Amino acid sequence: MLITETEAIVLRTLKYGETSIIAEVFTLQDGIRSIIVNGVRSTRNKSGSSAFQVMNVLSLSYYNKEADALCRTKEYQYAVHYKRLGLDVIYTSVGIFLIECVRNAVQEREENQALYLFLKERFLALDALDQHGLIDFYLYFLVDLTTLLGFGPLPNYEPGKPCFHLLHGRYTESHHDPAHLVGEGPSYILFRILNSSRAAGLPGSKQDKEQLTDDLLRYYGCHLEGFRPIRSLEVLRTIMR
């Protein structure tokens, strides 16, 4: 049977049987795979289950099957050791929020190295980030992910078109189809995200940034079939208050 050796980011884990887990991982070579890890929760394997915490980057090998089949893990080890993710509750909550967004948005059962490398780079950047930049960080993440997935916003902002239209993916007049318009404040923040050098913080109030977060998730829902509400966002906001 073919053995695949690759890097992978842990997206989700479920307990299986007495000592095993099933993990959903985003791999560098094969996209999303579901793998079974035997004995990882046994009393003799105290470090094994911690390796499969959400967001961890692993080097692993598994017996490859069809894309939708459950693959059995052969070996695994850490590829990255985080300093904050998995240890600091605020940073971990941001990461879990982003992972949930990715799981809802991405159903890749085939190789997508650009997306994998984007996710890995962003989690490494999050782990090294100063805490005051966390909201800006996940706003940039959400916008950049739309571009990778093929529905990035058009940056056609101008004084006569100050509001972003969620269905059309572009800026338009403030009176046009108000049910799908983003307010002027959050729309301007989005424009700065699309045109910023990222050397400085984003303008706007925390309230406008939180509203833009909600609007971006609505944007995902408009353009991705089956995109579900993000349950971890409320938890994240509670922790960051």
- Domains of the chain, by residue range, sit at 3-78, 101-240
Q: Do domains 3-78 and 101-240 have the same CATH topology?
A: no
d(CA 137, CA 202): 10
Cα separation, 239 vs 241, in Å, equals 6
Q: What are the distances in angstroms from CA 15 to CA 38, 52, 184?
A: 10, 11, 46
pLDDT at 143: 98
What are the tokens at 41? 């929760």
Question: What does residue 2 show for φ and ψ, rounded to 5 degrees?
Answer: -65, 130
* pLDDT at site 185: 98
Q: Please list, residue by residue across 107-133, b when 16 or more beta carbons sit within 10 angstroms of its beta carbon and e when fewer do.
A: ebeeebeebbebbbebbeebbeeeeee
State the pTM of this model.
0.93
Does the domain at 101-240 match CATH 3.10.20? Answer given as no
Q: Each residue's pLDDT tens digit in the chain (241 positions)? A: 689 999 999 999 999 988 899 999 999 999 999 999 988 887 676 666 789 999 999 999 999 877 678 999 999 999 999 999 999 999 999 999 999 999 999 976 788 999 999 999 999 999 999 888 999 999 999 999 999 999 999 999 999 999 999 999 999 998 888 899 999 999 999 999 999 877 678 999 999 999 999 999 999 999 999 999 999 999 999 999 8
Phi first, then psi, for residue 7 (nearest 5°) are -85, 155
In the chain, the amino acid numbered 162 is P
Tokens of residue 65, six digits: 């099957």
CA angle 185, 228, 86 (to 5 degrees): 85
In this prediction, residue 67 carries a pLDDT of 67
Tell me the DSSP string of 116-163. HHHHHHHHHHHHH--GGGHHHHHHHHHHHHHHHTT-PPP---BTTB-E
User: What is the distance between the alpha carbons of residues 123 and 56, in angstroms, rounded to a whole number?
Assistant: 9
Q: Which residues contact 191 (CB under 8 A, 6 or more apart)?
A: 155, 157, 164, 171
Residue pair 95/54 in contact (Cβ under 8 Å)? The answer is yes
CATH topology of domain 3-78: OB fold (Dihydrolipoamide Acetyltransferase, E2P) (2.40.50)
Q: Give the pairing type, strands 31-37 and 57-63.
A: unpaired
pLDDT value for 47: 62
- Which structure tokens are listed for 42? 């046994």
